[in-house]
Structures are given as C-alpha cells and as structure tokens.
Amino acid sequence: MRVDGKLDLDDHDPGETFGWDKKAATTELDVEVARLSELQMLLFAEKQRSVLVVLQAMDAGGKDGVLREVLTGLNPAGVSVTSFGVPSEAERAHDYLWRVHQHTPADGQIAVFNRSHYEDVLVVRVKNLAASSVWRKRYTQIRNWEQMLVDEGTTIVKLYLNISNEEQRERLQDRVDSPDERWKFRLGDLEDRQRWPQFQEAYHDALVRTSKRRAPWYVVPGDRKWVRNLVVARIVRRTLEELDPQYPEPEEGIAGLVIG
C-alpha cells in the first residue's frame, strides 16, 4: 500500500477488502475516528508540529467522501481543508507552488489538500498544459519543497484513492442520474475519463518519483467506500501516533492551584 521505490498499479486491486466485511469495518472506523480525534487534540495542544494530508484521485474517486466520513470527527479549530481546482488568473501568473504554500499547516494544525500541487504533474502533463521540459522538472522540485516542509516540522502523508475504471463509470453515471449529485458533474470530466490510461501513467510516475520516507504515498483501495474510509483513517491515525504529540508542560505554579 505504501509506495517505496517501485510500483505497479495493476498489482493494487481497487476492490480489495483485506478480509473486512462492511459491518465490522464501519464499527472499526468509529474507533479509529475517536482515536484520531484524541491525537489531534494533543497535536493542537502541543503546537510544535503539524501534519499535511494530500488527497488525490480521479474524478469521483472519493476525496469528498473521505473529508465527510473520516475527517468529520476532528476539531475544526485544528483542521483546514483546501480544494485546488483549475488555477485562477492570479494563480497561473505565479509559480505552481505559490497557491499551495499559503495553505500548508501551522504548528498544531492538520491541513488537508483536496487535490494539490500534484495536479501540476498530473492533469497538466496529461492535457499538455505545460511543456514537458517544464513539468518534468517538477518531481524534483516537489520532492525538495516537501523535504523543506518536513525539515521545518510538517509530517506529510499522501493518499491516492485508487478506483477502477468501471467504478468511476458507475459513479459518474449516478452523478448524472441523481439531481442532488448532478452539480458535481462537468462535461470536462468525460475528457479526463477518456484519458484514463494517460492519467494512470502520470499517477504512476508521480507516486514513484515523490514517495519518500518522510512524505510517503499510499495507494488506498477506493472501490468500496467503507474499505477506503477505514484505510485512510488508519493511515492518518498511525501517522499521528508516530508523532506521539504531548500536552505541553503547564506554566509553573498552575499545578495544584485553587481557583478562588
């Protein structure tokens, strides 16, 4: 699941269940979310380090679902979610990291990127929005930039929600068919869908070239939402657990104080 060194996305079954059934996994998700929320409180109180969660997926891959169903348990005071869509004119006039850098987490915070700077080696590559001589350099630039964030106290975890082509077809069809989901669908999504193999190749390269020990990529099975949610919750929970955040020492004279 964790990408190190080499990767064959064909070896990752989007329908994987790891032997879980839906009921047990849903119960377990509640446990994970509760633990996640405790750890977040500690991170927030400690205010020394931060966490950046990057979510990437094809359209209908479940990024919004993860935000809704996994990260709901967290204290909103300590979480920011930023969605990155087609860059605005001002964003296009700057380097591609400009718009993301302002949303990296402050000490004590968890920042979630719903799409990210990785679009600049994914959609930009697949749709030829920049010359290959430009996007090719970005893998190294991204590695270096992320390393800088790590060196400065941010732990980075990157999640690729891996859905199958058939699952995407069904989910997009559902979007078209249901009035309360139709707003999410854009005709441009079909263009991206037609370029599925090119996107897979671009994802492969991005994941392989930028997965580092301190900023790893994980391939998350995405076809079953309950598996996806549990896997994401576990990865984020373990990431926080490894950080082992602690309440800060109280100011001297506070312990044992009687409030009059």
Interface with ligand AMP (CB under 6 A) = 59, 84-87, 115, 119-120, 123-124, 129
The 44-83 contact track toward Mg ion, x by CB under 5 A, reads ---------------x------------------------
**Residue 253 near which of ligand AMP, Mg ion, none (CB within 5-8 Å, type-dependent):** none
Helix axes 138-151 and 196-210, enclosed angle (nearest 10): 40
> What are the backbone dihedrals phi and psi of residue 84, each rounded to the nearest 5 degrees, phi first?
-115, 110
Give the residue with the Cβ less far from ligand AMP, 34 or 86. Answer: 86
The residue number whose beta carbon is nearest to ligand AMP equals 119
CB 189, min distance to Mg ion, A: 6
User: What DSSP designation does 105 have?
Assistant: P
8 Å CB contact between 70 and 230: no
**Residue 33 near which of Mg ion, ligand AMP, none (CB within 5-8 Å, type-dependent):** none
Question: For the purposes of burial, counting CB atoms within 10 Å of the CB of 14, is it exposed (0-12), middle (13-18) or buried (19 or more)?
Answer: buried
Give the residue with the Cβ less far from ligand AMP, 117 or 234. Answer: 117
The whole-angstrom separation of Cα 83 and Cα 24 is: 31
Calculate the CA dihedral of residues 184, 17, 68, 8 and round it to 10 degrees.
-60
Number of residues that bind Mg ion (CB under 5 A): 1
Give the residue with the Cβ less far from Mg ion, 107 or 181. Answer: 181
Which residues are at the interface with Mg ion (CB under 5 A)?
59
